[in-house]
Amino acid sequence: MSPTHVQEVEAILAGAAAERRALLDAVSPALRASLPVDATGITQAIEHLAAEVALAEELRAEQAAGHRANPAVLHGRVYGRAPLSPGTVLAAFVEGARVRAAALLHLADAIGGPALADELGGALADHRLPDETASDDAATAALQDAYAAQERAVVALAERLDAVGGA
């Protein structure tokens, strides 16, 4: 019996979390502090679900286009390998979350139509991304909360795909 989409997504998220823990154990405290979240699992889960509903290439292109304006990418284009400021790092994570949220809503619409997209959009909106006025601690906490909401969202999409008998 092949695994369900929920089992696949949960395995993807667990694997990415394990890799993140190993990475954080191996880097300096300063570098560890600059990596408050990791979207690897969310991104891989989005790719898995997108492939199941024949949106893989379309969503990959949308996300690539969205990431072109990421503050870290823009910084690199202007300053090369110069170190990123903490504000730029935070802004890069925030922008990445915005791009993934759009992909999640696109997936929700493909899996369950506008009603599911609205439901998911509301759930993600309940976990607001930090803005530039937030203190470092508040911004980190908000970012972690928003990323956790995106992880729950990919699991919810997998549940819905399983329920409708997708692929």
| DSSP-assigned letter for residue 127 | S
pTM greater than the 0.75 cutoff: yes
Tens-place pLDDT, residues 120-130: 999 999 999 98
**What pLDDT is stored for residue 78 in this prediction?**
82
> Which of 17-26, 33-42, 71-80 is least confident?
71-80
For residue 167, is pLDDT > 60?
no
> Which of 9-18, 66-75, 85-94, 137-146 is least confident?
66-75
Angle at 47 between CA 64 and CA 3, to 5 degrees: 175
- Please compute the mean of the pLDDT values over residues 16-22 and round it to a whole number: 96
CA distance 23 to 153: 25
Tens-place pLDDT, residues 69-111: 887 777 777 888 778 788 888 888 899 999 999 999 999 999 9
For residue 163, is pLDDT > 70?
yes
**What pLDDT is stored for residue 86 in this prediction?**
81
Burial of 113 (0-12, 13-18, 19+ CB in 10 A): exposed
In sequence order, the 6+-apart residues with CB closer than 8 A to the CB of 116 are 108, 109, 160
Tens-place pLDDT, residues 41-69: 999 999 999 999 999 999 999 988 888 88
